[in-house]
Amino acid sequence: MRTQLLYSRLLLSALMLGGLLSGCSDEEDSAPAVTSGAQAQAEAHPVHWSYEGDTSPQHWGELEEDFKTCELGKEQSPINIKPSEATINKKLHPVEVKYSPSEVSLVNNGHTVQVSVKGTGNTLTLEGKTYTLKQFHFHLPSEHEVDGKHAEMELHFVHQSEDGKLAVLGVLIKGGAENKELNKLWSRLPQKESKDPTVIDGTFDLKALLPADLHSYRYHGSLTTPPCSEGVQWTVLQQPITWSEEQIGAFRHLFPHDNRPVQPLESRTLEKEG
Protein backbone atom coordinates (compact mmCIF):
# COMPACT_ATOMS: atom_id res chain seq x y z
CA MET A 1 0.00 0.00 0.00
CA ARG A 2 2.79 2.36 0.96
CA THR A 3 4.73 1.44 -2.21
CA GLN A 4 1.64 2.17 -4.30
CA LEU A 5 1.22 5.54 -2.67
CA LEU A 6 4.85 6.40 -3.24
CA TYR A 7 4.58 5.32 -6.86
CA SER A 8 1.49 7.42 -7.46
CA ARG A 9 3.22 10.43 -5.88
CA LEU A 10 6.27 9.96 -8.09
CA LEU A 11 4.02 9.58 -11.10
CA LEU A 12 2.16 12.76 -10.23
CA SER A 13 5.42 14.68 -9.86
CA ALA A 14 6.66 13.32 -13.16
CA LEU A 15 3.44 14.24 -14.93
CA MET A 16 3.44 17.72 -13.48
CA LEU A 17 7.01 18.35 -14.52
CA GLY A 18 6.54 16.81 -17.92
CA GLY A 19 3.17 18.38 -18.50
CA LEU A 20 2.79 21.76 -16.91
CA LEU A 21 6.32 23.06 -16.73
CA SER A 22 6.86 22.47 -20.41
CA GLY A 23 3.26 23.01 -21.45
CA CYS A 24 2.92 19.63 -23.09
CA SER A 25 4.46 16.21 -22.59
CA ASP A 26 6.01 16.23 -26.06
CA GLU A 27 8.10 19.29 -25.35
CA GLU A 28 11.71 19.65 -24.26
CA ASP A 29 11.89 19.83 -20.52
CA SER A 30 14.49 21.79 -18.62
CA ALA A 31 13.05 20.67 -15.27
CA PRO A 32 14.84 18.12 -13.08
CA ALA A 33 14.75 14.64 -14.53
CA VAL A 34 12.03 12.88 -12.58
CA THR A 35 11.03 10.09 -14.90
CA SER A 36 8.61 7.24 -14.85
CA GLY A 37 7.58 4.61 -17.33
CA ALA A 38 4.43 6.56 -18.11
CA GLN A 39 6.31 9.76 -18.75
CA ALA A 40 8.90 8.06 -20.93
CA GLN A 41 6.06 6.55 -22.97
CA ALA A 42 4.29 9.90 -23.20
CA GLU A 43 7.47 11.48 -24.53
CA ALA A 44 7.99 8.74 -27.08
CA HIS A 45 4.35 8.76 -28.24
CA PRO A 46 2.74 11.99 -27.11
CA VAL A 47 -1.02 11.78 -26.85
CA HIS A 48 -2.58 14.40 -29.04
CA TRP A 49 -5.01 16.71 -27.25
CA SER A 50 -6.48 19.97 -28.41
CA TYR A 51 -9.23 22.51 -27.89
CA GLU A 52 -11.57 21.27 -30.63
CA GLY A 53 -13.13 18.21 -32.23
CA ASP A 54 -12.48 14.65 -31.06
CA THR A 55 -9.58 15.67 -28.79
CA SER A 56 -11.28 18.72 -27.21
CA PRO A 57 -11.56 19.28 -23.42
CA GLN A 58 -14.73 17.18 -23.01
CA HIS A 59 -12.78 14.18 -24.39
CA TRP A 60 -9.48 14.68 -22.52
CA GLY A 61 -10.38 12.11 -19.86
CA GLU A 62 -10.88 9.40 -22.51
CA LEU A 63 -7.70 10.00 -24.50
CA GLU A 64 -5.25 8.37 -22.13
CA GLU A 65 -5.28 6.47 -18.83
CA ASP A 66 -3.15 9.22 -17.26
CA PHE A 67 -5.71 11.88 -18.28
CA LYS A 68 -8.56 10.36 -16.20
CA THR A 69 -8.35 13.15 -13.62
CA CYS A 70 -9.57 15.56 -16.33
CA GLU A 71 -12.91 13.72 -16.16
CA LEU A 72 -13.02 12.39 -12.59
CA GLY A 73 -11.22 15.07 -10.59
CA LYS A 74 -13.13 17.07 -8.00
CA GLU A 75 -10.70 19.99 -7.72
CA GLN A 76 -10.37 21.04 -11.33
CA SER A 77 -9.43 24.36 -12.92
CA PRO A 78 -10.41 26.83 -14.25
CA ILE A 79 -13.56 27.95 -12.39
CA ASN A 80 -16.16 30.68 -12.63
CA ILE A 81 -15.21 33.23 -9.95
CA LYS A 82 -18.22 34.81 -8.25
CA PRO A 83 -16.74 37.76 -6.33
CA SER A 84 -19.84 38.22 -4.17
CA GLU A 85 -19.59 34.59 -3.00
CA ALA A 86 -15.85 34.57 -2.27
CA THR A 87 -15.12 33.98 1.42
CA ILE A 88 -13.10 36.71 3.08
CA ASN A 89 -10.24 35.08 4.97
CA LYS A 90 -8.70 37.64 7.31
CA LYS A 91 -5.76 35.33 8.01
CA LEU A 92 -4.57 35.46 4.39
CA HIS A 93 -1.58 37.69 3.71
CA PRO A 94 -1.32 39.63 0.45
CA VAL A 95 0.67 37.68 -2.16
CA GLU A 96 4.33 38.66 -2.33
CA VAL A 97 5.63 38.72 -5.89
CA LYS A 98 9.35 39.33 -6.35
CA TYR A 99 10.04 39.55 -10.07
CA SER A 100 13.02 41.24 -11.70
CA PRO A 101 14.20 41.69 -15.32
CA SER A 102 15.18 38.24 -16.56
CA GLU A 103 16.48 36.36 -19.57
CA VAL A 104 13.63 34.60 -21.36
CA SER A 105 12.95 32.45 -24.42
CA LEU A 106 9.75 31.65 -26.31
CA VAL A 107 8.36 28.40 -27.63
CA ASN A 108 5.20 27.82 -29.66
CA ASN A 109 4.32 24.35 -28.30
CA GLY A 110 1.21 23.90 -30.42
CA HIS A 111 -1.12 24.73 -27.50
CA THR A 112 0.13 28.18 -26.51
CA VAL A 113 3.17 30.43 -26.53
CA GLN A 114 5.27 29.56 -23.51
CA VAL A 115 7.98 31.80 -22.11
CA SER A 116 10.73 30.06 -20.14
CA VAL A 117 12.36 32.18 -17.46
CA LYS A 118 16.06 31.69 -16.71
CA GLY A 119 17.36 31.56 -13.16
CA THR A 120 15.76 31.12 -9.76
CA GLY A 121 15.46 34.76 -8.69
CA ASN A 122 11.75 35.31 -9.42
CA THR A 123 9.47 34.16 -6.63
CA LEU A 124 5.91 34.08 -5.40
CA THR A 125 5.34 33.76 -1.64
CA LEU A 126 1.99 32.55 -0.32
CA GLU A 127 1.44 32.24 3.41
CA GLY A 128 5.17 31.97 4.04
CA LYS A 129 5.79 29.35 1.35
CA THR A 130 8.03 30.40 -1.54
CA TYR A 131 7.65 29.19 -5.11
CA THR A 132 10.07 29.92 -7.97
CA LEU A 133 8.83 31.12 -11.36
CA LYS A 134 9.55 28.58 -14.11
CA GLN A 135 7.54 29.75 -17.09
CA PHE A 136 4.51 31.73 -18.15
CA HIS A 137 2.05 31.27 -20.99
CA PHE A 138 -1.24 32.55 -22.37
CA HIS A 139 -4.85 31.53 -22.96
CA LEU A 140 -7.46 33.12 -25.23
CA PRO A 141 -10.12 33.86 -24.13
CA SER A 142 -9.41 33.76 -20.37
CA GLU A 143 -9.80 30.37 -18.67
CA HIS A 144 -11.23 31.78 -15.44
CA GLU A 145 -14.53 33.58 -15.73
CA VAL A 146 -15.69 36.35 -13.40
CA ASP A 147 -19.47 36.25 -12.88
CA GLY A 148 -19.75 34.10 -15.98
CA LYS A 149 -17.76 36.41 -18.21
CA HIS A 150 -14.42 35.78 -19.93
CA ALA A 151 -11.69 38.39 -20.17
CA GLU A 152 -10.08 38.58 -23.60
CA MET A 153 -7.02 36.64 -22.44
CA GLU A 154 -5.34 35.21 -19.35
CA LEU A 155 -1.71 34.90 -18.38
CA HIS A 156 -0.46 32.05 -16.17
CA PHE A 157 2.78 32.43 -14.22
CA VAL A 158 3.78 28.88 -13.20
CA HIS A 159 5.86 28.47 -10.03
CA GLN A 160 7.26 25.48 -8.18
CA SER A 161 8.40 25.15 -4.57
CA GLU A 162 11.51 23.28 -3.49
CA ASP A 163 9.35 20.33 -2.45
CA GLY A 164 7.74 20.17 -5.89
CA LYS A 165 4.40 21.87 -5.21
CA LEU A 166 2.95 24.07 -7.93
CA ALA A 167 1.43 27.53 -7.59
CA VAL A 168 -0.03 29.37 -10.56
CA LEU A 169 -0.63 33.12 -10.60
CA GLY A 170 -3.39 34.02 -13.08
CA VAL A 171 -3.67 37.52 -14.53
CA LEU A 172 -6.67 38.54 -16.63
CA ILE A 173 -5.96 40.60 -19.75
CA LYS A 174 -8.41 43.14 -21.19
CA GLY A 175 -8.26 45.22 -24.36
CA GLY A 176 -7.04 48.77 -23.75
CA ALA A 177 -3.69 50.52 -23.56
CA GLU A 178 -0.72 48.88 -25.26
CA ASN A 179 1.80 47.03 -23.09
CA LYS A 180 5.11 48.36 -24.45
CA GLU A 181 7.32 45.79 -22.69
CA LEU A 182 5.31 42.96 -24.29
CA ASN A 183 6.56 44.09 -27.71
CA LYS A 184 9.97 42.60 -26.80
CA LEU A 185 8.28 39.20 -26.89
CA TRP A 186 5.59 39.83 -29.49
CA SER A 187 8.07 41.06 -32.11
CA ARG A 188 9.59 37.57 -31.98
CA LEU A 189 6.38 35.47 -31.69
CA PRO A 190 7.13 31.99 -33.04
CA GLN A 191 4.57 31.54 -35.82
CA LYS A 192 4.94 27.77 -36.08
CA GLU A 193 5.07 24.94 -33.54
CA SER A 194 8.68 24.11 -32.76
CA LYS A 195 10.89 22.74 -30.02
CA ASP A 196 13.57 25.32 -30.76
CA PRO A 197 13.33 28.22 -28.33
CA THR A 198 13.44 31.80 -29.62
CA VAL A 199 15.86 33.57 -27.27
CA ILE A 200 14.98 37.20 -26.53
CA ASP A 201 17.92 39.62 -26.51
CA GLY A 202 18.64 41.38 -23.22
CA THR A 203 16.21 41.03 -20.35
CA PHE A 204 12.44 41.14 -20.04
CA ASP A 205 10.78 43.11 -17.23
CA LEU A 206 8.36 40.55 -15.76
CA LYS A 207 6.70 43.17 -13.55
CA ALA A 208 5.33 44.84 -16.68
CA LEU A 209 2.85 41.95 -16.88
CA LEU A 210 1.44 42.53 -13.38
CA PRO A 211 -1.27 44.99 -12.33
CA ALA A 212 -0.49 47.56 -9.61
CA ASP A 213 -2.95 45.97 -7.19
CA LEU A 214 -2.15 42.41 -6.15
CA HIS A 215 -5.37 41.57 -4.29
CA SER A 216 -6.39 38.07 -5.28
CA TYR A 217 -8.79 35.15 -5.22
CA ARG A 218 -7.35 31.83 -3.97
CA TYR A 219 -8.45 28.24 -4.36
CA HIS A 220 -7.13 24.70 -4.71
CA GLY A 221 -7.23 23.48 -8.28
CA SER A 222 -5.45 21.67 -11.07
CA LEU A 223 -3.49 21.99 -14.26
CA THR A 224 -5.86 23.28 -16.96
CA THR A 225 -4.24 21.03 -19.57
CA PRO A 226 -3.88 17.21 -19.58
CA PRO A 227 -3.15 15.37 -17.34
CA CYS A 228 -5.20 17.90 -15.24
CA SER A 229 -3.25 16.92 -12.09
CA GLU A 230 -4.61 18.35 -8.85
CA GLY A 231 -2.75 19.87 -5.90
CA VAL A 232 -2.11 23.20 -7.64
CA GLN A 233 -2.44 26.35 -5.51
CA TRP A 234 -4.28 28.95 -7.60
CA THR A 235 -4.08 32.71 -7.14
CA VAL A 236 -6.08 34.82 -9.59
CA LEU A 237 -5.48 38.55 -9.36
CA GLN A 238 -8.60 40.69 -9.07
CA GLN A 239 -7.24 43.58 -11.14
CA PRO A 240 -6.70 42.88 -14.85
CA ILE A 241 -3.90 44.29 -17.02
CA THR A 242 -4.47 45.79 -20.46
CA TRP A 243 -2.96 45.02 -23.85
CA SER A 244 -3.85 46.72 -27.10
CA GLU A 245 -6.33 44.96 -29.39
CA GLU A 246 -3.44 44.61 -31.85
CA GLN A 247 -1.35 42.74 -29.25
CA ILE A 248 -4.30 40.46 -28.41
CA GLY A 249 -4.98 39.99 -32.12
CA ALA A 250 -1.40 38.82 -32.73
CA PHE A 251 -1.94 35.96 -30.27
CA ARG A 252 -5.43 35.21 -31.61
CA HIS A 253 -3.91 34.86 -35.08
CA LEU A 254 -1.81 31.94 -33.76
CA PHE A 255 -4.33 30.47 -31.26
CA PRO A 256 -7.96 31.38 -32.07
CA HIS A 257 -9.00 29.76 -28.78
CA ASP A 258 -6.96 27.80 -26.24
CA ASN A 259 -9.02 27.80 -23.06
CA ARG A 260 -10.41 24.90 -21.06
CA PRO A 261 -14.07 25.57 -20.07
CA VAL A 262 -14.82 26.30 -16.40
CA GLN A 263 -15.17 23.32 -14.04
CA PRO A 264 -17.55 22.84 -11.08
CA LEU A 265 -16.37 24.30 -7.76
CA GLU A 266 -17.65 21.11 -6.02
CA SER A 267 -17.01 21.37 -2.27
CA ARG A 268 -14.16 23.87 -2.54
CA THR A 269 -14.07 27.36 -1.09
CA LEU A 270 -13.00 30.40 -3.07
CA GLU A 271 -11.21 32.81 -0.75
CA LYS A 272 -9.96 36.37 -0.89
CA GLU A 273 -7.85 38.47 1.45
CA GLY A 274 -9.67 40.44 4.17
Report in angstroms how near the CB of residue 7 gets to Zn ion at its nearest: 27
253 assigned to active site: no
> Based on CB atoms, which residue is closest to Zn ion, 101 or 231?
231
Q: Report, in angstroms and rounded to the nearest whole number, the Rg of the chain calculated over CA atoms.
A: 18
> Based on CB atoms, which residue is closest to Zn ion, 138 or 204?
138
Task: Decide: residue 253, CB within 10 A, 0-12 exposed, 13-18 middle, 19+ buried.
Answer: exposed
> Based on CB atoms, which residue is closest to Zn ion, 97 or 274?
97
Report in angstroms how near the CB of residue 90 gets to Zn ion at its nearest: 30
Catalytic residue, candidates 111, 137, 150, 156: 111
| CA 2 centroid distance within chain | 31
Contact (Cβ atoms closer than 8 angstroms) between residue 254 and residue 270: no
> Based on CB atoms, which residue is closest to Zn ion, 156 or 272?
156
Report in angstroms how near the CB of residue 156 gets to Zn ion at its nearest: 4
Dist CA 270 CA 75 (whole Å) = 12
Report in angstroms how near the CB of residue 33 gets to Zn ion at its nearest: 23
Q: Which helix (H) or strand (E) holds 183?
A: helix 183-186
Task: Decide: residue 195, CB within 10 A, 0-12 exposed, 13-18 middle, 19+ buried.
Answer: exposed
Dist CA 156 CA 168 (whole Å) = 6
Contact (Cβ atoms closer than 8 angstroms) between residue 67 and residue 61: yes
- Encoded one letter per residue, x for contact with Zn ion by CB under 5 A and - for no contact, window 129-168 reads ---------------------------x------------
Report in angstroms how near the CB of residue 3 gets to Zn ion at its nearest: 33
> Based on CB atoms, which residue is closest to Zn ion, 204 or 234?
234
Task: Decide: residue 251, CB within 10 A, 0-12 exposed, 13-18 middle, 19+ buried.
Answer: buried
Residues near Zn ion (CB under 5 A), total: 1
Positions annotated as catalytic residues are: 111
Residues lying near Zn ion in the complex (CB under 5 A):
156
